[in-house]
Amino acid sequence: MRTVTRFLLGLLAIFLLIQFIPIIRTNPDDRRHPGTSPEVTEVLRRACYDCHSNETVWPWYSYVAPVSWLITNDVEHGRHHFNLSNFEDLSDETKVKVRDAAKQLVREDKMPLWFYLPLHPEARLSERDRAIIESWK
């Protein structure tokens, strides 16, 4: 029993120590509208903005390591590939490519990511939501 207790205390100590590893969560000031219809904007805000804009809502569990590391990495990755806050800065050609890629990922049910949905059920896309994304011009 002593070995199990020591092991559990060791795990607890590691868990507490990793909380001190700094994680930078940012929401840059650049928060422009992507120039979409109100319908499209509503769906994008609900299903995409947490990872694909500068308006990320950082829930309480995003401050607890090691989950914080995963969430921060996902947001950085999402913003890198598709940031709705600076969408208007893209060339018209790039906008079309990004929109088409986003539509394709939604069509293939690859976005929003499956592991995001259990804690964010509002992001689940209905058939109507998918049709609205498909109409995005």
88 touches 35 (CB < 8 A): yes
Provide the strand spans (E) within the chain. none
Q: Which amino acid is at 31?
A: R
Residue 1 pLDDT exceeds 80: no
Q: What is the pTM of this model?
A: 0.86
Q: Which amino acid is at 77?
A: H
76: left (phi over 0), alpha (psi -120 to 50) or beta: alpha
Residue 74, number of CB atoms within 10 A of its CB: 17
pLDDT digits 0-9 by tens, 4-31: 999 999 999 989 899 998 888 889 888 8
Please tell me the predicted confidence (pLDDT) of residue 104.
Answer: 97
